[in-house]
Amino acid sequence: MMGVDGSALTRLTEGPSHDARPSWSHDGQWIYFRSNRSGTEQIWRMPAQGGNAVQVTQGGGWEAHESPDGKLLYYIKDRRKPGLWSVPVAGGEERAGIVPNAWMAWWAVARDGVYFVDFTNKPPAIKQMRFGDGSVHTLRIVEKVFWDLSPWFTVTQDGRWVAWAQYDQLGSDIMLIDNFR
């Protein structure tokens, strides 16, 4: 972690575990991250200024983002399987099926809901699951191919803008080199 001016560079985790995919809590007091320190990939959280980490999920965790009100943690259990889960930040039972078609790095949380790319649509669609009533709405069908080698998808907190990575042009050239040495 560091300040935006490059100051106060601080290492937050240590040890032989693989810690990855950090995300901030809504109030900036906690950092959630994936770790295999318990023997399986789970979501953990630790104070943003450093300190002891606490395991949040029990049944797997790959990527997580806290709800805007700080009450729930939304997460993907496994990068190979779709499905967004939730668990109360204060502790409690994990809940499946929040957004069944959400995939790793192709979803984001905003104030009004969860935004995601639904790859079960052909072509894929960008959708929103609203927090108020759980309804799902299609925002846009995407005709271009998503950049799946480095998936990325994000939404502004006010839900006004969505950004994603896609291929605008696919192609390659084959060339012959004579007398190559």
User: For the chain, which ranges sit under pLDDT 70?
Assistant: 147-151
In this predicted structure, what is the pLDDT of residue 150? Answer: 61
| Euclidean distance between CA atoms 9 and 59, whole angstroms | 33
Looking at residue 164, its amino acid is W
Total Cβ atoms within 10 A of residue 180: 5
Q: In the chain, where are the structural domains located?
A: 19-167
pLDDT tens for each residue of 122-160: 889 999 999 999 999 999 998 887 766 666 889 999 999
Q: What is the predicted pLDDT for the residue at 138?
A: 96
Tokens at 114, concatenated: 């969860």
Q: Which CATH architecture has domain 19-167?
A: 6 Propeller (2.120)
Question: What is the C-alpha to C-alpha distance for residues 172 and 91, in angstroms, rounded to an integer?
Answer: 51
pTM comes to 0.86
N residues, the chain: 181
- Tokens 């925002």 map to which residue? 139
Residue 18: predicted pLDDT: 95
Q: What angle do CA 13, 111, 56 make, to 5 degrees?
A: 35
